[in-house]
Structure formats: structure tokens, C-alpha cells
A and B are shown apart, each in its own frame.
Chain A
Amino acid sequence: MKISLGKWLLPVYAVLALTFLMIPIIYTFIFSFNDSLKSNITWRGFTLDKWLNVCQVQNGAVCEAFGNSLIIGAVATVAATVMGTMIAIAIVRYKFKFRSATSLLLFLPMATPEVVLGAGLAAQFLSVGVPKDMTTIILAHTMFCISFVVVTVKARVASLDPALEEAGRDLYGSPSQVFMRITFPLLLPGILAAALLSFALSFDDFIITNFNSGSVTTFPKYIYISASRGIPAEANVIASAVFLIALVVVVTTQVSAAARAKRLAKLG
């Protein structure tokens, strides 16, 4: 019997790759139900305690870190998205002095190693005498998130037909009305994508945060610190919860987009 390589190789490879990617996530999820004591390395039995009492451990340190990450992520995202969108529109639509210099400066935070960025910022805060706390973390996150927002929104602005805004002005729309009713709704998908990316980057960041956080603990920082002593199962609970929420959001958007496409197809 002949075995067809092409027929089997790709599925086997795909399954292996997917398994390899999924194992850490599945491991984290399973061990969030572990009836662990101090360390969460060996399986000691199933329990829902950790899910139900997630904020009880270490006087709620896990939850506090998680809360800090949410606040920092939200504030940095809003600030970076608002400023980044304005910069993106300005760079695409207007000609001004130092336009290309601005583009280059915005690209730098993406190209610079995070360690350099974090250490540089920390030195700056030190030299101007700003104490490190939530504010410094938010400033640092806003700074690197802006770059990603500008890149994402710029592509959207560039693909927007200027005639649409002209039509808005021609149809008696004042500049602010044209922005609110035409420009903004048409840029919204790009802006939302940029905001999601910003939040993910901010929530995820460890290196820059570690340099500029002082005594404030974020979720990634908490995990890093507790890794040496053994990560509590509560951290697994939060990580799993975040993963599940993200999964639900993605699936819902996909399903509703498919439903809308179907509805439109029926109309047409």
C-alpha cells in the first residue's frame, strides 16, 4: 500500500502545531481548578474554590494587580486612541512643517527595544523628579500605544475617499457635522481596531511597566514576581477568565458579522 505524503503531512503538521500552541492555555485553564496549596505545580484535586474566592488570596493581591492593569489599559487606550486618531488624520490630510519628522518619531517607539525605552523613560522620570506610580505607567503606555494607533488609523484615513467629506460639506454640513456624521463613522472600524490593539499591548506589557511602576503592581508584573515563589491558582483563574472573555467577544463579532452579511445578501 502506498502512503500519500501530501495527504497526511499537512493535517498532521497542523494538528501538532495547534496542540503545541494550545497546551499552555489548556494547562493554565485546568490548573485554575487545582486544589493547590502554596505552589500550583502538582495536581492535587479538582475544586471551584479558586474561581469563587479569587480575590481572597494574599489579601487580594491578584485582584488588585488585575484591577490596576484594567485601569491603566483603559486610560492609556482612550488617551492613545484620541491623540493617535487626530495625529493620523493630520498626517494624511494636511501638509505641515515637520510632517515626515513626525512620522519618523512615531515609528521610533515601535522600532526601539522595550528595555531601552523602559530604561530611558525611567531615567527621564528620575531626572525631572516625577515619582513612579500609576501615572507614570499610564504615560509610558500611552506613548508606545500612540504609535500603533497612528499606524492603524492612518491606513483607514488614506483609504477614505476625500470626495465623501466634500459631499458632506456640499450638502450643508458644517465642519464639525461632517466630522461627526461622515469622517468619524467611516473611520470607526479602524479606530476600534486601534483601541483593541492598544488595550492588548498595554495589558500585556511587562518590560516598560517594570521600569516605571515603582511600587504599583500590574497583572504581568504580579505573575513575574510570584513566579519565583510559585504562582497561585488565582492567577490562573484570572488568566483563564480573560482568555474566555476574549474568545466570547471574538466569536460574537464573527457570528453577528456573518449574520449581517447574510441579511444584506438577502436584501440584494
Chain B
Amino acid sequence: MSMATGAFAERGADLELVGISKRFPGFTAIESLDLTIPAGSFFALLGPSGCGKTTTLRLVAGLEEPTTGRILIGGKDVTNLKPYQRPVNTVFQSYALFPHMTVLENVAFGLRRRRLADPVGKAHEALRLVELDHLAARKPQQLSGGQQQRVALARALVNRPALLLLDEPLGALDLKLRRQMQLELKTIQEEVGLTFLHVTHDQEEAMTMADTIAVMNKGRIEQMGAPEQLYELPKTAFVANFLGQSNLFTGTVVGTTSTAISVDIAGQKIVVPVGRSHRHSGDVTVGVRPEKLSLHREAPASDPARNVIGPAHVIDVSFSGVSTQYLIAHPTLGTIVVFAQNMAFGPVAHVGEEVWVSWDIEHGFGLADDPADSPRFAADTDTKNIAAQRHAALITELGEA
């Protein structure tokens, strides 16, 4: 990369948020947030709309002022600096390309404001990075959505900011283009070595791209960690269900060994390894991912290494090509979701059939939530299932295209 010259940042900088809160008249968007993002990492803030993730981003950019707390970039306090004084650039959700300027002038805008040498040359270079240099003379409205998105990226990247903020930049693109841009963004981030802070509500996007994900809910960070860690060992019911789906059961710990805890759930015993549970006594919520479950048409032989639930009845079967999703109603445990890979031709169990499910003890997890605070998490509702099916269908569609 020859782009890194002169006044440009050679590499990303740490971002540190200390005790940040933001109150708007009538509601609190962020509540005492502490966050450190190491230099050079691809960090995703994941959460539903209204969780405070975009506000966090705007605070870092300087477009909002925090009610309390400090913001440090590369160890330097920037809390009171204006947006144009911060070594930060943003890729806006709406791209916010200047409609009265050419693509080239859009990209050169930041360089010209900082009076850096050779703004045109550097802008061309940034456009080459996103493979759009041949459209430099066009106006933004003559470009497709994906192209506009890349121009917005080039316009931010060309400044070599210590920190690049991405505000749901892929939200307006169709699924196929979004997947492609996810990979491209990740490649570019590795190439330029800057710190990326990516805000999204798409859990797949966050897991595909980020080194570290912070799951945000109601102005707080629920859990932070590597994608695999968050997925395999969710700490709260919110994380367990926002990042993929989970089957959750609440009960009381009835036995503890040095390696595992046994939880009594409505008369059914479920074993979870000590190392995979955040709580070890009293009431706990334990869970398992739907794809970790095996479906049996006959009662499986007792195996100390597996948890078994059953008999229960299949109430819904939806075939999506790669896998089949079964909804199983258990008389006391409620609805259980199972994703089964289609090893046979079509579904193996049918609606109304009596089945058992089992899973490797090592695949379960125990949440840190106090079940008294949050009532037993309702099993996946129908709308969620519809969403999951739609999602699976889209992926199939993408595979065919």
C-alpha cells in the first residue's frame, strides 16, 4: 500500500470509551458504557434498532456530545473536539455523497480540507482500491447502490483515519451484493490495517466480518468477545437469541460434580459442564443451539455423555434444502427447535410423530442471567420461525444465483 504517506495515519489507533452515557430529552440512549477497541481490529457493535449502537458511533464521530464520560482515540482525549478535529471518518448509512460534486471531488473533499498535497492523485488511488477509478468523473446519482457504497468507503479511507466508523453501510444493498461487500470490506481492512468500528443489526454480517463483537441491548453491552465465543457460550438470553437461535430451559441446580452441574427442569435432568455455565447454583437457564440437537424416532439408549429429552411430538416440519427445521412440543418443556442436516432424502420425521432429542453434554451452555429477573425465555415464536425460514430460503437462493 503506497497510500500511507505523510500526514496520514500509518495504522489504526485504540478507541477507548470511559463511562459514556447519553441522555436525550425523554429517554436514555446509552447507560454507563465502557469499551476498549484495540488498534487494527475489526470491531462490530451488534444490536437491534434503538439499542444505542448508532448513538455510540455518532459520539465517537463527534456528531453528538456525551452526557457523561470520556472518549479517547490513541490515548488522546477527544471528548471536547469538534468532528472535523478528530482523526475519525464515517461511512454513513445513506452514504451521504455530495450530489453536486463528481465522484473524484467527493473522495478528494477531506484531503482538500486538510490541505494535503496531491489530493487528486490520492483520490484516484483510493478509487482504484475500491475498483471504481473509471467512474471518477461521474456524479454520485449516476452510480448504482453498490458503487455509491464503495465511493463512500473510498471517501472515508483516503483520509487514513485512525478509526473508521461504519454505520450499517451495507443495509441498503441486496443480499448477494451485501455478502460480496462484506468480504471486500474485510479484505480492505486487513490491507490498510486501520481500526474499523462497524455498527450493524445483522448478526451474520457481524459474525462474518468482525474479530470482536459487542452485543448491545437497551443502551448496554450484554456481551463482548470473538464471534465463536459469543455463539458457543452466550451469557444472556438476549445474546443467545439475537445471535442465532437457542433452546432455553430454566430449572434448579440439583447436583454438582467437579466437572458438571445437573439441572432439574420440570422433572427432566439436563447436564451442563461447569466450564460452560456462568451460574452453578440455584435457578439457572441452560440452553443448546438447534443444530446441535439429534432427532430420534425411538428412545435412544441411555448415555452419560448425552442429554436426552422425550418423548415429544413434532408439530411443524419445514424443509429448506440444506436442512430441515423441526418444531417439537414437549408436554412440560415447551417448544424445542431442531435443525437437522438433510442426510436422507427429505425430512425423517413427520408432523404428529413421537420423537426424542439428544445432544452432547459438551454442547450445552448455562446463562449468567438470573432467571428471576428475566422470566423463562419464550420458545421461538412463529414469526421468528418464519424469519428463520425466509433467511434460509434467501441463502439457498444466493447459492443458486
Residue from the list B82, B98, B137 in contact with A169, Cβ < 8 A: B82
The complex places the Cα of A8 from the Cα of B137 at a distance, in Å, of 50
CB A140 to nearest CB in B, in angstroms, measures 36
Number of chain A residues close to chain B: CB under 8 A: 20
Q: Which parts of B113-131 form the interface with A (CB within 8 Å)?
A: 113-114
CB B56 to nearest CB in A, in angstroms, measures 15
Most chain A CB within a 10 A radius of its CB, from B62, B63, B83, B156: B83
Q: Which of A110-118, A160-168, A211-219 contacts B (4 or more CB under 8 A)?
A: A160-168
CB-defined contacts of B114 to chain A, threshold 8 Å: 172
Instruction: Describe A's contact surface by its main secondary structure.
Output: helix
CB-defined contacts of B83 to chain A, threshold 8 Å: 166, 169-170
Residue B159 is within 8 A (CB to CB) of chain A in the complex: yes
Identify the closest chain B residue to A173 (Cβ): B113
Identify the closest chain B residue to A162 (Cβ): B96
Residue B88 is within 8 A (CB to CB) of chain A in the complex: yes
Residue B142 is within 8 A (CB to CB) of chain A in the complex: yes
The complex places the Cα of A170 from the Cα of B163 at a distance, in Å, of 12
Identify the closest chain A residue to B109 (Cβ): A171
CB A257 to nearest CB in B, in angstroms, measures 15
CB-defined contacts of B98 to chain A, threshold 8 Å: 164, 167-168, 182
Q: Which parts of A85-100 form the interface with B (CB within 8 Å)?
A: none
**Contact between chains at B84 and A264 (CB < 8 Å):** no
Residue A185 is within 8 A (CB to CB) of chain B in the complex: yes
Residue from the list B63, B96, B113 in contact with A161, Cβ < 8 A: B96
Given A167-B92, A172-B114, A173-B113, A267 contacting B100 (CB threshold 8 A): no
Residue B307 is within 8 A (CB to CB) of chain A in the complex: no
CB-defined contacts of A264 to chain B, threshold 8 Å: 139, 142
The complex places the Cα of A173 from the Cα of B114 at a distance, in Å, of 8
How many of chain B's residues touch chain A, expressed as a range? 20 to 34
The complex places the Cα of A161 from the Cα of B141 at a distance, in Å, of 14
Q: Which parts of B79-105 form the interface with A (CB within 8 Å)?
A: 82-84, 88-90, 92-94, 96-100
The complex places the Cα of A163 from the Cα of B89 at a distance, in Å, of 13
Most chain B CB within a 10 A radius of its CB, from A169, A185, A268: A169
The complex places the Cα of A174 from the Cα of B138 at a distance, in Å, of 26
Q: Which parts of A152-210 form the interface with B (CB within 8 Å)?
A: 161, 163-164, 166-174, 177, 181-182, 185-186
CB-defined contacts of B306 to chain A, threshold 8 Å: none
**Contact between chains at A177 and B142 (CB < 8 Å):** no
**Contact between chains at A171 and B88 (CB < 8 Å):** no
CB-defined contacts of A186 to chain B, threshold 8 Å: 99-100
**Contact between chains at A167 and B139 (CB < 8 Å):** no
The complex places the Cα of A177 from the Cα of B137 at a distance, in Å, of 23
Residue B263 is within 8 A (CB to CB) of chain A in the complex: no
The complex places the Cα of A264 from the Cα of B96 at a distance, in Å, of 21
The complex places the Cα of A161 from the Cα of B139 at a distance, in Å, of 17
The complex places the Cα of A171 from the Cα of B138 at a distance, in Å, of 20
CB A225 to nearest CB in B, in angstroms, measures 47
CB-defined contacts of A182 to chain B, threshold 8 Å: 98
**Contact between chains at B84 and A170 (CB < 8 Å):** yes
Residue from the list A161, A172, A267 in contact with B84, Cβ < 8 A: A172
CB-defined contacts of B97 to chain A, threshold 8 Å: 167
CB-defined contacts of B109 to chain A, threshold 8 Å: 168, 171, 173, 181
Residue B276 is within 8 A (CB to CB) of chain A in the complex: no
The complex places the Cα of A85 from the Cα of B160 at a distance, in Å, of 36
CB B135 to nearest CB in A, in angstroms, measures 10
Identify the closest chain A residue to B158 (Cβ): A171
CB A83 to nearest CB in B, in angstroms, measures 24
Given A169-B82, A185-B100, A161 contacting B94 (CB threshold 8 A): yes
The complex places the Cα of A264 from the Cα of B83 at a distance, in Å, of 34
Q: Mark B231-261, 1 if CB is under 8 A from A, else 0.
A: 0000000000000000000000000000000
Identify the closest chain A residue to B87 (Cβ): A172
**Contact between chains at B92 and A166 (CB < 8 Å):** yes
**Contact between chains at A170 and B89 (CB < 8 Å):** yes
Residue from the list A171, A267, A268 in contact with B110, Cβ < 8 A: A171
**Contact between chains at B138 and A170 (CB < 8 Å):** no
**Contact between chains at A268 and B142 (CB < 8 Å):** yes
Q: Mark A221-241, 1 if CB is under 8 A from B, else 0.
A: 000000000000000000000
Which are the 4 A-B pairs with shortest beta-carbon distances? A171-B110, A167-B96, A163-B96, A172-B113
Using a CB–CB cutoff of 8 Å, the interface residues on chain B facing chain A are 61-63, 82-84, 88-90, 92-94, 96-100, 109-110, 113-114, 137-139, 142, 155-156, 159
5 A-B pairs (CB sep. < 8 Å):
A161-B94, A163-B96, A164-B99, A166-B90, A169-B82
Using a CB–CB cutoff of 8 Å, the interface residues on chain A facing chain B are 161, 163-164, 166-174, 177, 181-182, 185-186, 264, 267-268
